[in-house]
Chain A
Amino acid sequence: MNKIFPLWLMSLIAALLLYSAQALAETPSTGWLSHKDHPPVEVKLELTGHYKAERNLVPALLHVELEEGWKTYWRSPGEGGIPPTFDWSDSSNIREIEWHWPVPSRYSIQGIDTVGYQGSLTFPLMIKLSPDTRQGHISGSLTMSSCTTICVLTDYPIDLRINLDTLTVDSDRAFAFNQAMGKVPREHDRNDVKQAIWSDANQRIQLIIERDSGWQDPQLFVHSSDETLADATFSSPGIQVEGNTLTAYIEVSHWLKLPDLKGSELTATVGDDNFAAEYKVKLVSGTVSTLTESAPPLWIILLMALIGGLILNIMPCVLPVLGLKVQSLMLSGAQQPSVVRKQFFASSLGIISSFLVIALGLIVLRWSGGSVGWGIQFQNPYFIAALVALTWLFALNLMGAFEFKLPSSLNTSAATTGDNSYKGHFLQGMLATVLATPCTAPFLGTAVAFALAAESSVILLIFAALGVGMALPWLLIAVFPKSSKLLPKPGRWMQWVKPIFAIMMLATSVWLTTLLKNFISNEAFLVLTVGLSVLTLAIIGKVHGRKALFLSIGGFLILAAVVGAALLLTADRWVNKLPQDHQWQPLTQERIDAAVANGETVFVDVTADWCVTCQANKIGVLLQDPVFTALGQENVTRLRGDWTKANENITLYLKANNTFGVPFNKVYGPGAPDGIVLPVVLSKEKVINALEDAREQ
């Protein structure tokens, strides 16, 4: 027996040695970290135990456990949110920490589009040690953002020591690391990106990416590491797949001012079935085609038609008819709800059926090979003349000029007795529709363009939706006839309101008369207007006597002001404040091509006198600086297509641009040989940007 080292002491030392050797062989982990103020989120940083000596890399895993409903964010978080960050500045012997982002998902929180993750997720990290070192210390603060309907930013102190001498591989973690890396997109050949265009005019990126094995259901996410783009928002892209080609459109916005993205370097991350790729992309300036964009589904188009129709009610064209309706509504206060209901159903029917008539007319026109478009009936002088007569008669009727009752059946007694003559209301609805057609409204243009390119049944469906949309206010009263009782009761004051509606209707009639100017000689036009005015006054004088004549002359003075305003809309020479318009050349495709070949910038304006939006664009944008001066520059060719009268060439030009109505504006130039299409409602900024983009080679 060894007396100096008894057996029990020997075994104790041996056990201690064995234990410390085990303790030295380690795979460091922080364990699950949570914050007392924010239990729904837990994080854990751990090493796999591997060491890649050739690059001094220590692979690590950052696990994040989010309770149900909580989300955290990708490096470009979308419209809101903030990505997790790791401030490891207190670390020692650490050169760099590479953070790898798995392909994220898109989430919508209260209508805000965000990009991120939920549930359990793992970020693979690559920790690079300083050269010639065996030990490192990661110390810092991990900041995690997490949101449900509330947002929390939580800091987790991280403290992890790396000792390469004792580092041992943990096979479970190594497996988890490989699994996590499999979800991180790999950089792919940038030659697969066939096109990366930035259109400053449309604030939109167009990417075309090819994949040899084709695309299934790709998701695309854009990120920029450029500081100036840190707060830029890349929208959820519109994606179109055709075989091996993926086309994505991404709108870019910024809460302050978006810089020009020309030349910007971005990464496009694409996730597909068992596929995660990252493409480096450099944007070039250009025009983004909207034509190849896949058309939205029919129900969206129908919804747009419904909204477009509803908006038509507040476009200036229909206001006189609305006035008429409000007046008859006030008179209806004394009526049976059932009568009111039927009257408003009649008007709604009038609106919807005239939309269907327009649709049928367009279908027939298309079958017969004619050109179709929105508001083309205003290219026909007989149509305008008929409308002049109709609105004029309505106006006179409002003035009480007829002893016999016009179909409008504004007569209270006739209506209260409910003689079932709802024809007048039906007619009012039809008139409202035809008067509305020269007004394009937001959404309406898209719906109509879609309809006219579609098959006949779809045209009918979309126009019916337009009709229902426009008739919605009428239908509302038809469903709740008692709501008409909320309006003031008819009384003596009505006599004052009535002439106002009459004047509005008369102003419409005058505006329509001015449209005839394009089809008849100046003399004939003068005779017509003077004749109509005298006739109007004479009728009023005869029916109502001297007092009324005096009143109507007073009204006529107001009318003169309204006429002045109407002329302001139609003829710029009446207006002193606005500059004399530039000389415009008639629009032909040859002129466009020749000018572009010559290195000039071309501005195309397709317009019509009856198009109210066109006049608004002209007065509000084209005749205003800086657009007016920019259009007047020497190297700018101005081409105008006048669609006031039917013109086959202009219709063909519109059709080639996949549109069926005016206004239509497009800019061509060396920088944009295919042209940049401008929005229906112009803005100075959009025009100037398009002119600049088109000019640049």
Chain B
Amino acid sequence: MSNSKPKTSWAKRLRTAALYIVLFSAVAFVVDAFRNSDVPESVPAGLASLTDINGEQYNLREMSKNGPVVLYFWATWCPICPAVSPTVDYIGNYYPTVSVALRSGDNEKLASYAQAKGYEFPIVNDSLNRVSNAWQVSATPTIIIIENGDIVSATTGVTTPPGLFIRLWFHQFFEITNF
């Protein structure tokens, strides 16, 4: 008897927790969708392939065929970005990740900045806002999730590692597109 009581309360707690998670996720998705109504629905034509500061090519359409790909817009002058970049760096261990640095100086400066901060994600130097304009991203930090060439999620502002993981799992397992 004494054993069964805590069990039910645990199940209850779990259910409440699950409800909260679903609720939070729903709110997050709605807010995401609202905040980024401008972001295109799929990878902009002509910009599927990006070249990072080391000359490596990244084809976002190809890469996202095998699962979600993270595209991260940031800048060295953005005071919030240092709070988000480590999360993206960490996510890079589990999902293919490409970053775009908006008007943050030349390749050399970006390389030494990333090295000093310990960022390992590839960096595309967008010194003329060519990439960010095509993606209609004007605010940093912005994290976009691409799957099968489609943009499935876009978030601007501070993101936590669990928040980003939940988004990625969600899209990986349910393959919901065009959110």
Which residues of A line the B interface, CB within 8 A?
37-38, 77-82, 109-110, 112, 114, 145, 147, 149-154, 255-256
Contact = CB atoms under 8 A, between A and B. Distances in A.
A150 B31 CA distance: 15
Given A150-B156, A153-B102, A38 B77 contact: no
Chain A contact surface mostly: strand
30 contacts: A37-B136, A38-B138, A38-B139, A79-B79, A80-B78, A80-B81, A81-B78, A82-B77, A109-B79, A110-B79, A110-B83, A110-B158, A112-B82, A112-B83, A145-B77, A147-B79, A149-B80, A150-B139, A150-B142, A151-B78, A151-B79, A151-B141, A152-B139, A152-B140, A153-B75, A153-B77, A153-B102, A153-B138, A255-B116, A256-B113
Interface string B130-145: 0000001011111000
Among B77, B79, B136, the one with the most A-chain Cβ atoms within 10 Å of its Cβ is B79
Contact of A150 (B38, B112, B136, B141): B141
B158 A152 contact: no
Interface in B76-103: 77-83, 102-103
Contacts of A82: 77
B136 to A, nearest CB: 8
B157 interface: yes
Size category of the binding interface on chain B: 20 to 34
Contacts of A38: 138-139
Interface centre among A78, A152, A153 (most CB of B within 10 A): A153
B65 interface: no
Contacts of A149: 80, 157-158
B103 A153 contact: yes
A197 B77 CA distance: 29
Contacts, number: 67
A154 B75 CA distance: 13
Closest 10 pairs between A and B when the two form their complex, measured CB to CB: A80-B79, A82-B77, A151-B78, A150-B139, A112-B79, A37-B138, A152-B139, A255-B116, A151-B140, A150-B157
Nearest to A143: B103
B80 A147 contact: yes
A1 B124 CA distance: 80
B117 interface: yes
Given A37-B38, A37-B138, A109 B112 contact: no
B171 to A, nearest CB: 22
B140 to A, nearest CB: 5
Nearest to A111: B83
B80 A150 contact: yes
Interface of B: 38, 75, 77-83, 102-103, 112-113, 116-117, 136, 138-142, 156-158
Nearest to B113: A255
Contacts of B156: 150
Nearest to A155: B129
Given A109-B79, A110-B79, 14 more contacts: A78-B79, A80-B77, A81-B79, A110-B83, A112-B80, A112-B83, A145-B77, A147-B80, A149-B80, A151-B75, A151-B81, A151-B139, A255-B113, A256-B112
Given A255-B117, A256-B112, A80 B138 contact: no
Nearest to B142: A150
A541 B119 CA distance: 58
B80 A151 contact: yes
A532 to B, nearest CB: 49
Contacts of A151: 75, 77-81, 139-141
Nearest to A113: B79
A110 B83 CA distance: 8
A79 B102 CA distance: 18
Nearest to A81: B79
B139 A80 contact: no
Q: Which of A80, A114, A151 counts the most chain B CB atoms within 10 A?
A: A151
A70 to B, nearest CB: 11
Contacts of A152: 138-140
B82 A80 contact: yes
A4 B132 CA distance: 66
Contact of A114 (B79, B102, B136): B79
Contacts of B139: 38, 150-152
Nearest to B158: A149
Nearest to B77: A82
B81 A256 contact: no
Contacts of A150: 80, 139-142, 156-157
Contacts of A256: 112-113, 116
B38 A147 contact: no
A112 B85 CA distance: 15
A256 B157 CA distance: 26
B26 to A, nearest CB: 21
Nearest to A110: B83
Nearest to B79: A80
A79 B77 CA distance: 9
Nearest to A108: B79
Contacts of B141: 150-151
Nearest to A37: B138
A38 B112 CA distance: 31
Contacts of A80: 77-82
A420 B116 CA distance: 57
Nearest to B75: A151
A318 to B, nearest CB: 32
A81 B80 CA distance: 9
A564 to B, nearest CB: 36
A110 B80 contact: yes
Contacts of B140: 150-152
A254 to B, nearest CB: 9
Nearest to B102: A153
Contact of B77 (A37, A81, A109, A110): A81
A153 B132 CA distance: 11
